[in-house]
């Protein structure tokens, strides 16, 4: 009897402690710490409808808490998704036994974390834990729980994105490398500034690289733009000398650029624009500011200045004492060798201007001059040409629309205008059309040079193209009559063809002033032809096409004068 009362007391104490007391730590113990291994208290509602969406945290909404039958049973919750309603099943379960054909894993938790598993009744989400009523709060980590198939999808996405990622990194890296490269080149060039050169100097001909390049926040900030506006508060110490030229918008002076603190100076040319011609100064400055324009057959640009006191804009460039080509041809007869030098260098300058890459192969914005004529070409001391006066130049960058091109209008000097410019019928869809108009004008200049070459026989006084046919400053209408209506071109007398070299030049000229712009040679091709004309052509001979040297790409034909 005494034993009976003792066992009753034990069971009573157990029941009170397990049902009434909070078992998750009233005694300060970890909820999983169950030294006597008392049966667990779990939610146990079997299957109930639920509005749990399988994301975040859901409550089981089960109102029944059961003492599991065995001490080794754990709490389990199963969430099933179906089209019409979702369900939650709560139960006690022996982890050593399968549940719906699977073994329950990771149950030594206080929290019930859902995982997607495949049971013998299809996929479901199951969580298991071993703490009081721990299967009441169901935790979904990813949408629908962490899903191994989802993980695979994520992995596949990551792997397929990898090449794109690598490519992006490569593109960014090469962009930075390119910028660094350009900056280094720019620095190298800047170190050649006259002010930084060392050693004794006399008066210099500034036809070499002697750029003075300073910050210009008014010009485009593109990396190909040299910082070319003299921002010093002090204007450069320049002393104007004689006027050497006068154009439509500006006057050109020979000038001395003082090399302080010494008495030495460099001779430079200063092109002075009145304030009203800001647009023309800006256009020429912006064209010159492209460092990729730098070329031995393009006038060397030093800097640009706004002269506030004088209300003027200045462009400071190299000075060439021989002056412009028209003046030079007026005063001088030239040899075949001079013709080759002048003609070849002219073509090289135009080819570089038009080119979409630098001699090193870097991309470059093609530029068209649109006012090529012998008075816009300077003769350097070595009797090569350099192009100047870019007031009407146009950068053919990709941002130009057909409208931009159409609005750029009929520009240039009527005497040198190509037929399609005279009748305002340039093909605006193709930027090559603008280059073709330059090639036409260049052909007229080549004709002017040839007309003063002693290799053609009797040489007349200098005359501009169409000289005897039109007045000094012909208008567009009178040029239309000559060039369009009559299909006229400057005369190439038969006597010029006696010299094989001159004949080859004339053939090239003919191909450059073709009425059909597309049939014209490119400036690059003309340059190649000149470089292929070797000294062997420096002899008088009757022209014979069978004896001709026919280069592969830019082949010469001497019998196609129109
Ligand atoms: N006429 C126009 N520009 C000139 C220059 N840079 N040098 C000499 N004469 C010029």
For 331-343, what is each residue's pLDDT tens digit?
999 999 999 999 9
Instruction: Say yes or no to pLDDT of 408 above 60.
Output: yes
252 annotated as ligand-binding: yes
Tokens standing for 257? Answer: 């650029």
526 annotated as ligand-binding: no
The structure tokens 């999808």 sit at 153
Instruction: Say yes or no to pLDDT of 273 above 60.
Output: yes
Q: Is the CB of 464 under 6 A from ligand 1?
A: no
Element (H, E) at 24: none
User: With DSSP H G I counted as helix, E B as strand and the rest as coil, what are the percentages for the chain, rounded to 5?
Assistant: 35, 20, 45
Q: How far apart are CA 104 and CA 127, in angstroms?
A: 8
Element (H, E) at 301: strand 301-307
**pLDDT mean over 140-163:** 71
Residue 353 backbone phi and psi in degrees, to 5:
-55, -45
Q: Is the CB of 252 under 6 A from ligand 1?
A: yes
Q: How far apart are CA 102 and CA 115, in angstroms?
A: 13
Average pLDDT of the residues of the chain: 82
Kindly report which listed range (92-96, 178-182, 387-391, 467-471) carries the lowest average pLDDT score.
178-182
Give percent of the chain above pLDDT 70: 77
Does the pTM surpass 0.85? The reply is no
**Closest residue to atom 8 of ligand 1, CA basis:** 320
Would you call 339 helix, strand, or coil by DSSP? helix
Q: How far apart are CA 160 and CA 34, in angstroms?
A: 49
Instruction: Say yes or no to pLDDT of 213 above 80.
Output: no
* CA 492 to the chain's CA centroid: 45
Report which ligand 1 atom has the smallest distance to the Cα of 319.
7
Tokens standing for 465? Answer: 């193209």
What band does 184 get if pLDDT is binned at 50, 70 and 90?
low
Would you call 99 helix, strand, or coil by DSSP? strand
CA 313 to each of CA 121, 156, 237: distance values in angstroms, whole numbers, following the listed order? 88, 63, 15
Q: How far apart are CA 421 and CA 371, in angstroms?
A: 11
Q: How far apart are CA 555 and CA 532, in angstroms?
A: 10
Would you call 79 helix, strand, or coil by DSSP? strand
172 forms bridges with which residues in the sheet? Answer: none
**What CATH number does domain 325-560 carry, 3.30.70.20, 3.40.50.300, 1.10.10.60, 1.10.510.10?**
1.10.510.10
Among 250, 303, 323, the mutation site with the greatest number of ligand 1 atoms within 8 A of its Cβ is 323
Tokens standing for 324? Answer: 């412009």
Active site residues: 371
**pLDDT mean over 27-56:** 76
CA 273 to centroid of ligand 1, rounded, Å: 15
Q: Is the CB of 479 under 6 A from ligand 1?
A: no
Q: Is the CB of 324 under 6 A from ligand 1?
A: yes
Kindly report which listed range (216-220, 256-260, 530-534) carries the lowest average pLDDT score.
216-220
Would you call 268 helix, strand, or coil by DSSP? strand
**pLDDT at position 151, please?**
65
Q: From 396, 381, 493, select the one nearest 438 (Cα to Cα).
A: 396
Q: How far apart are CA 99 and CA 133, in angstroms?
A: 19
DSSP code for 394 = E
265 forms bridges with which residues in the sheet? Answer: 258
What band does 121 get if pLDDT is binned at 50, 70 and 90?
confident
CA 143 to centroid of ligand 1, rounded, Å: 76
CA 236 to centroid of ligand 1, rounded, Å: 19
The structure tokens 């006696």 sit at 498
CA 406 to each of CA 284, 421, 498, 533: distance values in angstroms, whole numbers, following the listed order? 20, 12, 44, 39
Concatenate the DSSP letters of all residues of 485-504 into one string. IS-------GGGGGBHHHHH
Report which ligand 1 atom has the smallest distance to the Cα of 321.
8
**pLDDT mean over 525-535:** 90
Report which ligand 1 atom has the smallest distance to the Cα of 318.
6
Most confident listed range (37-46, 149-158, 447-456): 447-456
CA 232 to centroid of ligand 1, rounded, Å: 25
**pLDDT at position 554, please?**
58
**pLDDT mean over 520-546:** 72
**pLDDT mean over 135-154:** 70
Q: How far apart are CA 486 and CA 479, in angstroms?
A: 10
**Closest residue to atom 9 of ligand 1, CA basis:** 323
Tokens standing for 535? Answer: 């000294």
Tokens standing for 35? Answer: 């030294």
Q: How far apart are CA 176 and CA 167, in angstroms?
A: 14
- 41-146: what CATH class? mainly beta
Q: Are 253 and 240 in contact (CB under 8 A)?
A: yes
**pLDDT mean over 395-410:** 82
Tokens standing for 119? Answer: 């049971």
**pLDDT mean over 96-123:** 91
**pLDDT at position 407, please?**
74
Q: Are 370 and 437 in contact (CB under 8 A)?
A: yes
**CA torsion 192→211→393→362, rounded to 10°?**
20
What band does 277 get if pLDDT is binned at 50, 70 and 90?
very high
Q: Is the CB of 244 under 6 A from ligand 1?
A: yes
The larger pLDDT score, comparing residue 3 to residue 295, is at 295
- Where helices occur in 134-228 by DSSP H, the ranges are 148-190
Q: Are 45 and 138 in contact (CB under 8 A)?
A: no
Instruction: Say yes or no to pLDDT of 347 above 60.
Output: yes
Q: Is the CB of 317 under 6 A from ligand 1?
A: yes
Q: Are 339 and 352 in contact (CB under 8 A)?
A: no
What band does 158 get if pLDDT is binned at 50, 70 and 90?
confident
The structure tokens 């001709």 sit at 548
Give percent of the chain above pLDDT 90: 63
Q: How far apart are CA 166 and CA 74, in angstroms?
A: 49
Element (H, E) at 275: none
What band does 311 get if pLDDT is binned at 50, 70 and 90?
very high
**pLDDT at position 245, please?**
95
Instruction: Say yes or no to pLDDT of 503 above 70.
Output: yes
Instruction: Say yes or no to pLDDT of 551 above 80.
Output: no
Q: Is the CB of 391 under 6 A from ligand 1?
A: no
247 annotated as ligand-binding: yes
Cis status, amide bond into 261, omega within 30 of 0 = yes
Q: Where are the beta strands (DSSP E) in 81-170?
A: 86-93, 112-113, 115-119, 122-129, 137-140
Instruction: Say yes or no to pLDDT of 212 above 60.
Output: no
Report which ligand 1 atom has the smallest distance to the Cα of 388.
3
Tokens standing for 381? Answer: 């001391």
Q: How far apart are CA 196 and CA 212, in angstroms?
A: 10
pLDDT, tens digit, 9 for 90 and up, residues 74-86 = 999 999 988 878 9
**pLDDT at position 147, please?**
53
Q: Give the domain 226-318 fold.
A: Phosphorylase Kinase; domain 1 (3.30.200)
Would you call 112 helix, strand, or coil by DSSP? strand
Most confident listed range (190-199, 335-344, 425-434, 529-538): 335-344
Q: Is the CB of 378 under 6 A from ligand 1?
A: yes
**pLDDT mean over 10-16:** 40
Q: Burial-class residue 101 by CB neighbours within 10 Å (0-12, 13-18, 19+).
A: exposed
């Amino acid at each position: 009897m005494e034993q009976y009362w003792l066992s009753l007391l034990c069971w009573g104490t157990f029941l009170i402690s397990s049902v009434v007391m909070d078992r998750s730590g009233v005694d300060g113990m970890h909820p999983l710490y169950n030294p006597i291994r008392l049966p667990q208290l779990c939610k146990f509602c079997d299957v109930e409808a639920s509005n749990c969406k399988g994301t975040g945290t859901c409550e089981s909404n089960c109102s029944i808490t059961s003492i599991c039958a065995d001490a080794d049973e754990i709490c389990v919750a199963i969430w099933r998704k179906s089209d019409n309603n979702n369900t939650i099943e709560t139960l006690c379960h022996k982890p050593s036994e399968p549940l719906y054909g699977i073994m329950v894993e990771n149950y030594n938790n206080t929290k019930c974390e859902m995982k997607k598993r495949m049971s013998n009744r299809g996929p479901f989400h199951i969580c298991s834990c071993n703490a009081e009523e721990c299967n009441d709060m169901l935790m979904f980590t990813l949408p629908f729980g962490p899903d191994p198939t989802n993980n695979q999808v994520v992995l596949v996405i990551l792997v397929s994105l990898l090449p794109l990622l690598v490519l992006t990194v490569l593109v960014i890296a090469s962009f930075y490398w390119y910028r660094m490269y350009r900056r280094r080149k720019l620095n190298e060039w800047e170190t050649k500034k006259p002010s930084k050169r060392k050693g004794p100097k006399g008066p210099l001909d500034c036809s070499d690289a002697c750029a003075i390049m300073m910050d210009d926040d008014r010009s485009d900030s593109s990396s190909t733009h040299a910082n070319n506006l003299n921002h010093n508060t002090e204007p450069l110490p320049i002393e104007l000398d004689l006027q050497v030229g006068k154009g439509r918008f500006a006057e050109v002076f020979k000038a001395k650029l003082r090399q302080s603190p010494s008495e030495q100076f460099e001779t430079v040319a200063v092109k002075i624009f009145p304030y009203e011609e800001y647009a023309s100064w800006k256009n020429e400055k912006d064209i010159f500011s492209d460092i990729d324009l730098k070329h031995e057959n393009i006038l060397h640009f030093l800097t640009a200045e706004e002269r506030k006191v004088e209300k003027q804009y200045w462009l400071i460039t190299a000075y060439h004492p021989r002056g412009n080509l028209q003046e030079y041809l007026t005063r001088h007869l030239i040899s075949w060798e001079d013709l080759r030098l002048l003609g070849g260098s002219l073509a090289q300058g135009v080819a570089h201007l038009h080119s979409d890459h630098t001699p090193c192969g870097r991309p470059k914005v093609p530029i068209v001059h649109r006012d090529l004529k012998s008075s816009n070409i300077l003769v350097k001391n070595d009797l090569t040409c350099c192009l100047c006066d870019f007031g009407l130049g146009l950068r053919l960058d990709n941002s130009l629309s057909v409208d931009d091109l159409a609005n750029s209008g009929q520009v240039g000097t009527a005497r040198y205008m190509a037929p399609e410019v005279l009748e305002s019928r340039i093909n605006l869809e193709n930027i090559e059309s603008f280059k073709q108009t330059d090639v036409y004008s260049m052909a007229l200049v080549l004709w002017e040079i040839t007309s003063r070459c002693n290799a053609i026989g009797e040489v007349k006084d200098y005359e501009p193209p169409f000289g005897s046919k039109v007045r000094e400053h012909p208008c567009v209408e009178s040029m239309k009559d000559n060039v369009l209506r009559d299909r006229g071109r400057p005369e190439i007398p038969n006597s010029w063809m006696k010299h094989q070299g001159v004949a080859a030049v004339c053939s090239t000229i003919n191909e450059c002033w073709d009425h059909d712009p597309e049939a014209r040679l490119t400036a690059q091709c003309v340059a190649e032809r000149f470089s292929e004309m070797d000294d062997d052509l420096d002899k008088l001979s009757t022209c014979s096409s069978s004896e001709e040297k026919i280069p592969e790409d830019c082949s010469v034909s001497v019998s196609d004068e129109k």
